[in-house]
Structure 1
Amino acid sequence: MEEIIETFPEERVVGVREECRLREQHFGNFQEMETRKKIKRMRNRYGKFFYRVPDGESSADVHDRVSAFLDGLWRDMETNRFGNGPSDELNLIVVSHGLTILLFLMKWFNWTVDQFEGLTNPGNCEYRVIEVGRNGEYSLAVHHQDEELRDWGLSEEMIEEQKLRAYGPGFL
């Protein structure tokens, strides 16, 4: 986060806040290799969204935290709490862990559990840019190419929805 902030002129950074709801999934006591392998096998069979790690959280639990954060963020954006006027540009940067970012996107775009299950976890320092498109909606397709979206596990249907959000109904 600090490296990202340094790329902006100081007067353009209006604030930084730590948000505990955007922490990574709590995996419980995950020390023994054999136990870890068994848990991963069960999670893969059961599904990564609903499977709760013993003494830890499920992705659904993290989704609840991310949803609460986003509800507040949307409210702050709608009420102009960030101090930006109608003509001011506002960029928000969210820095978190891979699963948390996937669940953030799931909530933002109303993806289903099945769609979430097909996504791949972002690598270290990998980023996703959600940007307002010509259609006035936020989309991954404004900044990212189709091949990149496919590599992340988005289905063709999800990619088309991102393009529609970015460019409107006449993009085809």
Structure 2
Amino acid sequence: MARTFNKVILIGNLGRDPETRTLPSGAKVTEFSVATTESYTTRTGEKVEQTTWFRAEAWERLSDIASQYLKKGDQVYLEGRLRMEEFTDKEGNTRSALRLRVMELNLMGSGGRNEEGGFTPTTASTSSTPAPTAAATPAAPRPTTPVTPAFNSGSDEDDLPF
């Protein structure tokens, strides 16, 4: 059997506030909708914007983070697995939607503002190792001249230190 892979990365905006529920098993799931927008110009010069909506679900630890920090309009970076879901709407029509099972969540934009108005990135993942976070302070400037290591073997030969 051939190996398959399903990983999706989305950067989009929340279309509604997250809704959290607890299943009879005790598992927590938070659901929210995310919109991505693509713009392009047609051959006739008309500018077109196309929005795609995704239903996202975050489980357990990510559910807690999503319900606590996300709100309608926030921009988020999401990684996860995508699947097509079919359902029946209130009028009885069969509809379909793309559902994303969130495996990594990164709050972007104003969602990560701290009390002083500075940006504090928040990253969460379902993996057991902590996700990397960006520093809130700017990085030190890089030197403009190349730096050579201060290694001297004590002889004029090209000796390697290993």
TM-score strictly above 0.5: no
Structure with higher helix content: 1
TM-score by length of 1: 0.24
Structure with higher strand content: 2
TM-score by length of 2: 0.25
Larger radius of gyration: 2
